[in-house]
Amino acid sequence: MKTNRQKLMVISAIQALVLSGSGLIISLFGIIKFGATLWGEYIKIQLWLTPILLLTNWGSRNYLVQQFSITPSKVGSIFLENLVSRALLLPVAILVLFKVFDLNVVWFTIPILLLQYLYMSYDAVTVFSERHKGRILAEVLGLCVFLIGGLLLDGFSLKYILIIQLVGVISKLTYLGWYLKGLSLFKSSVQMSIRKTLTAGFPFMIIGISGLIQSKSDIYMLSYLSSSENVASYQMLTGGLFVIQGTIAFLIDPLVKIIYRTKEVVFRKVRRVIMIIGAAIIFPGLFLLAVGLSYLLPEKFNMYTYTIAFLYLLPFIFYYPFILRLYKDNKHLLVAFISVIGGAVNAIASFLLIPSYELNGAILGTAFSQFLILPLLVYFTRNSR
């Protein structure tokens, strides 16, 4: 059993590398082929799609994993009820797209939104059913479709890039749906309850939004204050950092459903695992990232950047177990509250530092917010039990 659990942790870590690494590879491909300035225009569209998809997802991943863990015999009905109920949020999301995008762009972003909505809904199912291989292969398929399509373009065209993205989403959604067909997710009886879904998922949605604010405030501020070229370059840096951070977090995914059912001793073990493995991943990961960026973008980043990046990564391996403990104690809104504080600090610090220090100012603001979150989580965890 222990060997199987360790195998699942390794597979989950590979999934983290693929999920976060695919975004990094796409950014790298776009900058090399089209240049940072043109590719920054595509990134700005993704900066809008990301929070819209997060809102329509309404915290379903963590909520569903928790519900599946409590009543594993009703996975299909819980999944379908949540999927259908959340779909009522889609018309509002589409109206937002019409508001922020030109008509020549919005007709391509709407199908991307709808299909990505369904694809993201499978996330909790793959985690709970431990079918990580299907998600990995789906992501690799989508990435290959995007890269092949991009290589066929003679020059940058935002419209055709979005079409290629759409084809990539269709490809990975089709494969993952086929891979999960044995679960009969769409054959279960369902009673649609938008009120129940939104009420139960609200704490998790707040956590997701607050986490987005906390982790993305720097790049949104950079998008507002700086050039598309700097935004594209900075996404390469943060993309690499998310790969490192995501690998550590996904190592714990196979343990999440056990954590919801067990005692305090599990948290102590998980905390030790995260700190040991986290330290082992951070150092070589950051070194490889620095080597790669020094070759690709030699004039954008320096040793100060990577020193700050290390300070950004370090608090995570200490505070992540405290987040899991608060989840177990149903203190989801407390986690969200702390994330909102961190996001506000990140936004303010980035806004003040970017004009003077450009990209280093953005990552410095994020690192500062991370060091604020750590003591807050420790304090509230120990005083909320």
pLDDT of 264 above 70: no
Helices (H) and strands (E) in the chain, counts: 15, 0
Tell me the CA distances in angstroms from 210 to 76, 191, 286, 334, 347, one per residue in order: 29, 30, 26, 11, 12
Long-range contacts of residues 252-257, Cβ cutoff 8 Å, at least 24 apart: 252/9, 252/12, 252/320, 252/324, 253/9, 253/12, 253/15, 253/127, 254/5, 254/8, 254/9, 254/12, 254/130, 255/5, 255/9, 256/65, 256/69, 256/127, 256/324, 257/65, 257/68, 257/69, 257/128
Rounded CA gap, 168 and 142, in Å? 4
pLDDT of 384 above 70: no
The angle formed by the CA atoms of residues 365, 368 and 371, to the nearest 5 degrees, is: 155
Average pLDDT of the segment spanning 290-302: 87
Is residue 220 within 8 Å of residue 353, measured between CB atoms? no
Is residue 215 within 8 Å of residue 365, measured between CB atoms? no
pLDDT value at residue 10: 66
Long-range contacts of residues 363-368, Cβ cutoff 8 Å, at least 24 apart: 363/218, 363/234, 363/237, 363/238, 363/305, 363/308, 363/309, 363/312, 364/308, 365/217, 365/218, 365/221, 366/215, 366/217, 366/218, 366/312, 367/308, 367/309, 367/311, 367/312
When pLDDT is cut at 50, 70 and 90, the band that residue 295 belongs to is confident
pLDDT value at residue 308: 94
Rounded CA gap, 303 and 290, in Å? 9
- Give, for 185, the enclosing helix (H) or strand (E): none
pLDDT value at residue 1: 43
Tokens of 167: 């084809």
Express each pLDDT in 139-196 by its tens digit. 999 999 999 999 999 889 999 999 999 999 999 999 999 998 877 787 766 666 667 6
C-alpha radius of gyration, the chain, whole number: 20
Average pLDDT of the segment spanning 63-86: 81
pLDDT of 4 above 80: no
Tell me the percentage of the chain whose pLDDT exceeds 90: 28
pLDDT value at residue 137: 92
Which residue has better confidence, 117 or 5?
117
pLDDT value at residue 363: 93
pLDDT value at residue 94: 93
pLDDT of 3 above 60: no
